[in-house]
Amino acid sequence: MTGGGLLVAGTTSDAGKSVVTAGICRWLVRQGVKVAPFKAQNMSLNSFVTKEGAEIGRAQAMQAQACRIEPSALMNPVLLKPGGERSSQVVLLGRPVGEMSARGYHGGRQQRLLGTVVDCLAELRGTYDAVICEGAGSPAEINLRRTDIVNMGIARSARLPVLVVGDIDRGGVFASFFGTVALLSPEDQELVAGFLVNKFRGDVSLLEPGLDMLHGLTGRRTYGVLPFRHGLGIDEEDGLRVSLRGTVRESSVSPPVGEDVLRVAVCAIPLMSNFTDVDALAAEPGVVVRFVDRPEELADADLVVVPGTRGTVRALEWLRERGLADALARRAAEGRPVLGICGGFQILGEHIEDDVESRRGRVDGLGLLPVRVRFAAEKTLTRPAGEALGERVEGYEIHHGVATVTGGEPFLDGCRAGSVWGTHWHGSLESDGFRRAFLREVAAAAGRRFVPAPDTSFAALREEQLDRLGDLIEQHADTDALWRLVESGAPPGLPFVPPGAPA
C-alpha cells in the first residue's frame, strides 16, 4: 500500500517551505504517523553525510530529525552544490557525478533525472504512512516548467496535492498566491489545493476578509495562518549568501556563566559551506557569534573561525584581497585563537595542489598550520568519531582535499599549532563535552574569564526547536484538513484560474 503525500511549495524562495515541511513532519510524528521528508532536487552548500556515506542537503537531514528517523539519500536524490554563479557540482543519490552549467542541467539532464526522483519517492511512500515533500523556489517558474522535477513535475508524476506557502512579512502575498495559480496549466492547477500564510504579524481577523476574497477568486482555501516567530529557521539551504536565520544565530545571547563573554568572528568567505557549524558555539550562554568581511572586525574577536567553502582557492584569494589573510597571520603570531574547518583548515595550511576544484595547480596557503593539501577526484564522505581534548567527538566529512599533516599537535583529523586549530570535521562542535573543552582552551588563550555553561545540550536545543515548529502547525493550521490532503489528495473539482501557463 502506498503512503499518503503532500508537496509544500512556495510563492518564492525563502517563503518558509523548509520550516513548514519540518513542522508538518514533527506534528505528524507526534500523532503516531510514520512520516519521512523528501526534496527531489536541492541547491545548497549546507550538506550532511548520512550513515551510509551519502551527501544530502542539511535541511532534509533536519527534517528527518523532525520525523525522528535516520536521514537517507532517498530523501534528497539530487543535490546541486554551486561552484560559482554559472555551474554546480551534481550529487546524485549521495555521490558526486560531475560539474554542470545551469544551461546544461536545465537543457536536458534535469528531465532525465525525473525517473530517479519518482522512484525514490515511490520507495519512501512504500515504507512510510506519509511523505512530506518540499518544493524549490516557485512552482510558477514558467521558463523552467518543461524540465521541472522538484515542483509541479514531481507533483504531476506522483499525483501529490500541493500546498503553497507565502511569506506575508515581505508583502504582496495575495498577488503572489493568485499569480502562482494563474500561471499554471489546467493539469497543474488541479493539484494546487490551497494556501498557507507564513510570518503573519498582528490581528488575524484583519486578514480574514482578504483570505475570503482569495477563496472567491481561486476556489481554494487557506489552510492556516502561521504567526511570525523569531528563531524558527532550520539549517539554511542557500550557501551563496550569509543568512543568520537559524535558531541560535538569531536568538539573544544568554548571560555568561563566568565574568566575560566570548566573541567569535566567522569569516564570510565566498561559497561558504556548512556555516551551520558555528550554531553550536552560538548556543552557549555568553558566546557572541557574528559574520565578518573586514580585517578590523577581527580586532576584538576572541576566536576567528574560517569555515568550509566550495571554492577553497577562491576563498584564499578573497582573504588576501580583503586584508583578512594578514590579520589572521598577525593573530597567529600573537597567540590569539583561530579555527579552520574543512576548506578553512586547508586555507590555513602551507600549500594546496588543486587540479579538481579550481584547477589552479599549486597555490600557497596562509602557512599557519603544518599541513599540505592535495585535491583528489574522489570526494571524502564519512561520519568519523574519536576523542579530542579528553572528550568524545562525532562529526562528518565532505571534501575533495586530502591533508598531510607534517607537525603540530594532533587535533581530530587535523592538527594544532600554538593557538591555531584545523580539522575537516564538520559538526564536531555539536558534541557538548568537546565544545566546552575547546571553549575553555580558547578563553585561556584569549585571556577571557569565560566559563562554558555546564549543562548546554545542543541536541536538546534542536529537539526543542523542532517541537516549536510542530506546535506552530498544530496551533495555527487546520490539521484535520491537512491530514485529508495527505491521505486523499487534492479536493476534486478545483476551478481553473485564467490565463494559465503560456503555450
Q: What is the DSSP string of 109-133?
A: IHHHTHHHHHHHHHHHHHHSSEEEE
Nearest Cα neighbor of 153 from 141, 169, 170 is 141
Q: Which of 139, 122, 150 is nearest to 182 (CA)?
A: 139
The Cβ of residue 294 has, within 10 Å, a number of other Cβ atoms equal to 12
Query: CA 457 to CA 431: how far, in whole Å?
Result: 9
Q: Are 6 and 271 in contact (CB under 8 A)?
A: no
User: What residues contact residue 56 under an 8 Å CB cut-off, 6+ apart?
Assistant: 42, 47, 48, 50, 71, 72, 73, 75, 76, 79, 94
Q: How far apart are CA 255 and CA 262, in angstroms?
A: 11
Q: Which among 399, 400, 424, 426 is annotated as catalytic?
A: 426
Q: Which phi-psi region, left, alpha or beta, contains residue 496 (left: φ > 0; alpha: ψ -120 to 50)?
A: beta
**DSSP-derived 3-state class of residue 209:** helix
Let me know if 342 is a catalytic residue.
yes
Grid cell digits, residue 38 = 523528501
Burial of 252 (0-12, 13-18, 19+ CB in 10 A): exposed
Grid-cell match 581530530, residue found: 412
25, 342, 399, 400: which one is catalytic?
342
Instruction: Indicate if 25 belongs to the active site.
Output: no
Q: Are 106 and 144 in contact (CB under 8 A)?
A: yes
> What's the CA gap between 50 and 47, in Å, rounded?
10
3-state secondary structure of 95: strand
Q: What distance in Å separates the CA atoms of residue 73 and residue 123, rounded to the nearest whole number?
A: 12
The angle that helices 458-476 and 58-66 make with each other, rounded to 10 degrees, is 70
Strand partners, 386: 393
Q: How far apart are CA 171 and CA 175, in angstroms?
A: 9
> Is residue 476 within 8 Å of 470, Cβ to Cβ?
no
Phi, psi of 206 (to 5 degrees): -75, -20
Beta bridge partners of 56: 48
Catalytic residue list: 342, 426
